[in-house]
Amino acid sequence: MADGRGHPQPGDLIEIDRKVYQHWVLYVGDGYVIHVTDDEGAPSFLGSSSSVSAAMAKVKKQLLKEVAGNHKWRVNNKYDRFCTPRPVEEIIRRAERWVDMEVPYGLLTNNCEHFVTMLRYKVGVSQQVLKALTVAAGALLLLLL
């Protein structure tokens, strides 16, 4: 595994560092994760030109080492401070139901982080989208001044 931090447990959220974004997956055990991808298996957040323009993405179950590749990853259940996770068995059961299904995809409202947080907490959240929108709003404000 590439620079993994922590020992993932079933139901954990894993954040994988990419060049300009983080790809989020849900650990389901035995080295496997479930995540939102494009048709070729690339992470659906600027992973390929088709994932940016497509309105649909696929849910896949793959080995964490294949999804992470040479990128650093870490267990990151950061929303546990604010939200109560579902029971682990329920998280895994719900995640497994999505495998091989197509799901709506949108950078701002239905990305990989939204998907895995919805499975773990019942609500989809993406802090990286909030950060990007804050930076964009700040840049716009500077242009207007």
**Enzyme catalytic residues:** 23, 112
**What is the number of domains present in the chain?**
1
What CA–CA distance (Å, rounded) separates 45 from 144?
29
Q: What is the CATH number of the domain that holds 34?
A: 3.90.1720.10
Amino acid in position 67: V
For the stretch 89-139, pLDDT in tens is: 999 999 999 999 999 887 777 889 999 999 999 877 777 655 554 544 455
| Residue 10 backbone phi and psi in degrees, to 5 | -50, 135
For the stretch 22-75, pLDDT in tens is: 899 999 999 999 999 865 545 544 444 334 445 899 999 999 999 999 999 999
Residue 80: give the domain boundaries. 4-144
